[in-house]
Amino acid sequence: MKRRDFIQLAGMGAGAMMLPLPGLSHEVDPLHLLDPMMDVAQKKTLADVALNTTKSLGATYTDVRIGRYLNQFVTTREKKVQNIVSTESFGVGIRVIANGTWGFAASNNVTPDGMKKTAERAVAIAKANSKFQKEPVKLAATPSYGQVSWRTPIKKNGFEVPVKEKVDLLLAANAKAMEKGASFVNSIMFLVNEQKYFASSEGSYIDQDIYRILPSFTVTMIDRASGQFKNRQAFSAPVGMGYEYLDGKAEDKIQAPGGITLYNKSYDIVEDASMAADQVKQMIAAKSVEPGKYDLVLEPSHLWLTIHESVGHPTELDRVLGYEANYAGTSFLTLDKWQSKKFNFGSKNVNIVADKLQVGSLGAVGYDDEGVKCKSWDIIKDGILVNYQAIRDQVNIIGQKESHGCCYSQSWADVQFQRMANISLQAGKEQVTPEQMVAGVEKGIYIVKDGSFSIDQQRYNFQFGGVLFFEIKNGKIEGMLKDVAYQSNTQEFWNSCAQICDERDYRLGGAFNDGKGQPGQSNAVSHGSATARFNGVNVINTGRTL
């Protein structure tokens, strides 16, 4: 496994063993009786206790989040089950503004008395913080939605599927790869259900039920003669869907350049594992790339990560303002570039949209974690930077009156803050298939699936690898390459975007584990695109040493 994949899977395993722990801003009471299955009416009654308490103590704004968070991890290796872990976390987080300053407290004591005490603590923290506040918090207005609900439109609840069925599916995928000669196979299924109830002093009571799923594997092949080894990761994407994603419908399969099968809307993990074992042998025997300038044809399962790192992060307003500098860096997309209304981020083919409603995406919800109804908005329009990602206490900084609806907290025990929306490259307007795109390339490389990467603290200079690389000569796929990575800077790269396939090729990629904040939080986010062509990009050989 690549170091990045090992860290991701290890982090998932470690995360599965952890529940919120006591800290300065939240308390855990192991003695009270939890009722995580309480109905909406009971939640409203409890939320009103907190809202009335904070109002009586002088808070000018309050939001209450009662959350039940379910995770399930099933991990296997070759013929064995390595681990099965199910976690449940239930509690409340209360955020207030008092004396013009934020305060937050959380507890798993979701009783009238627990709500009252947590609300009192949140107000006390806000008033203590106000001694150091230079400017009062300014919240953009948002409507009162009354009592509303939203649910991920799933067809099959993965948490109701027997664990044995999940184990059997993963072991079947492992067995198929081993039949084809794989040396090792690791596979995992990760399911998430967030049951979130939000109430605010502005009159919104919002009940949401959110589902996500990630099936994945890594197939490893070792060539004993040469000592070389290669890995091929699954062609699955983490999605905001139910267990129906694993149906593997024939109509959702895509025959792509290079003779490979890709997937959209549903996924066949057994077929993919079999294909992976064949391809990993070819990866070992592949020709090492010659460094130089190439036209790159980037498939969506690869391009999502480049979008995430070079577009998603630098357009987060808190990063632009320096709020994330200590942990995650800043952004080259400073306010003056946006204010000019003419900063050339990319070619005119580049249209990037933020979307919190996209069906099947990881970030799809009806309302964000501060009660704002979600929407979509332009980030890059015809190559020009036109907006950022911002929430209620940020939009006034850029002269806007409405939050973008991208506030999120990973649990009831963590305060919500600005997180990345689904950031996607829009499909091209002219009908172009990946095969037609490849046919127009004289010297190029077709890249499938994301790999290792490196990008600087301003999200400007970068290097990206991949998993499968196919050489293109005179409009035809000539065979597989290895040791490929491309280098560029964000503005140069996106200005080299010469062509994008149409919406028939549009697909989502994404990640469960986008890290941000101190203390750190994890966010799930998707990025869509169709296959795109980037001309004259510098390619290096990662297998050569000086």
pLDDT, average across residues 353-378 = 97
Percentage, residues of the chain above pLDDT 70: 93
Residue 186 confidence (pLDDT) above 90: yes
Which comes out higher in pLDDT, residue 176 or 327? 176
Q: How far apart are the first and last CA of the chain?
A: 25
Q: What is the pLDDT of residue 227?
A: 83
Residue 34 confidence (pLDDT) above 80: no
- Which residue type does 242 have? G
**190-204 in b/e burial notation, b at 16+ Cβ within 10 A?**
bbbbbbbbbbbbbeb
Q: Which tokens is 370 given?
A: 């501060």
Residue 32 confidence (pLDDT) above 90: no
What's the chain's average pLDDT? 93
Which comes out higher in pLDDT, residue 319 or 3? 319
pLDDT, average across residues 110-127 = 98
List the single range of 12-26, 291-305, 379-393 with lowest mean pLDDT: 12-26
User: In 105-149, where does DSSP find H-type helix?
Assistant: 112-129
Fold held by 3-151? PmbA/TldD fold (3.30.2290)
pLDDT band at 35 (very low <50, low <70, confident <90, very high): low
Residue 19 confidence (pLDDT) above 90: no
Model pTM? 0.92
Question: Cα dist. 466→2, 239, 299, 482, 540 in Å?
Answer: 11, 20, 10, 9, 13
Residue 480 confidence (pLDDT) above 80: yes
pLDDT, average across residues 482-497 = 98
Task: Kindly report, residue by residue over 269-298, the tens digit of the pLDDT.
Answer: 999 999 999 999 999 999 999 999 999 999
pLDDT, average across residues 343-364 = 97
H or E segment to which residue 174 belongs: helix 163-179
Report CA 328 to chain centroid distance, whole Å.
Answer: 16
Q: What is the pLDDT of residue 296?
A: 98
Task: Report the distance separating Cα 313 and Cα 85, nearest Å.
Answer: 32
Task: Report the distance separating Cα 116 and Cα 124, nearest Å.
Answer: 12
Q: What is the pLDDT of residue 37?
A: 73
Residue 84 confidence (pLDDT) above 60: yes
Q: What is the pLDDT of residue 38?
A: 84
Residue 242 confidence (pLDDT) above 90: yes
Choose among 211, 152, 197, 521: nearest CA to 371.
Answer: 197
Residue 133 confidence (pLDDT) above 60: yes
Pairing outcome for strands 80-98 and 204-223:
unpaired
- 525 and 510 Cβ atoms separated by less than 8 Å: yes
Task: Kindly report, residue by residue over 56-65, the tens digit of the pLDDT.
Answer: 999 999 999 9
List the single range of 1-15, 17-31, 289-303 with lowest mean pLDDT: 17-31
> What are the start-end ranges of the E strands in 383-500?
384-385, 407-408, 417-418, 422-425, 443-455, 461-473, 476-482, 484-489, 497-500
Question: Coil, helix or strand for 276?
Answer: helix
Q: What is the pLDDT of residue 439?
A: 98
Beta bridge pairs of residue 262: 254
Task: Kindly report, residue by residue over 89-118, the tens digit of the pLDDT.
Answer: 999 999 999 999 999 999 999 999 999 999
Return the domain boundaries, the chain. 3-151, 163-192+211-285, 292-541
Residue 546 confidence (pLDDT) above 60: no
Task: Kindly report, residue by residue over 210-225, the tens digit of the pLDDT.
Answer: 999 999 999 999 998 8
Residue 16 confidence (pLDDT) above 60: no
Q: What is the pLDDT of residue 545?
A: 61
- Which residue type does 382 have? D
- Which residue type does 297 have? V
User: 409 — phi, psi (to 5°)?
Assistant: -130, 140
Q: What is the pLDDT of residue 225?
A: 83
pLDDT band at 544 (very low <50, low <70, confident <90, very high): confident
Fold held by 163-192+211-285? Double Stranded RNA Binding Domain (3.30.160)
Q: What is the pLDDT of residue 21?
A: 32
pLDDT, average across residues 501-519 = 95
H or E segment to which residue 525 belongs: strand 521-529
